[in-house]
Amino acid sequence: MGKYRKPKQWFKAHKAVGMVGGLLSIFGLLYMASLGPVWSIHLYMGILTSAIIVIIIVLGFVTVRAKKPNPQMRSVHLWLGRIMLLLMFITLLAGFWRVGIL
């Protein structure tokens, strides 16, 4: 964690933003499910992104709670986070395309 000299409150903010993002993705999936069979690339990307968000949250929780640091697990957590950000952007664009904004 100290590699880049993050501010003291960084980790609390990181956890809060991650949890809010996870909840928003769950609400989005529940909303899409309430619409009935509306299969689209936006939905598929949302399901994939949400699954990765759950994996990231679990990995982060396990990494923090581990008695002995596991650099491989932390690395997977970091890289999945980066991939998830890209997938979120693509999902957002697919949603805009679906409603005719793009």
In a domain, 73, yes or no: yes
Q: Which pLDDT value is given to residue 5?
A: 64
- CA-to-CA distance for 100 and 25, rounded, in angstroms? 21
Q: Model-level pTM?
A: 0.78
In a domain, 12, yes or no: no
In a domain, 14, yes or no: no
- CA-to-CA distance for 81 and 84, rounded, in angstroms? 5
Q: Which pLDDT value is given to residue 1?
A: 45
Number of domains present in the structure of the chain: 1
Residue from 31, 36, 35, 50 nearest 91 by CA: 50
> pLDDT by residue (tens digit) across 37-68?
777 888 889 889 999 998 998 888 888 888 88
In a domain, 60, yes or no: yes
Compute the mean pLDDT over every residue in the chain, rounded to the nearest whole number. Answer: 86
Once rounded to an integer, what is the mean pLDDT over residues 4-29? 84
Where in the sequence is the domain holding 47, given as residue range(s)?
40-97
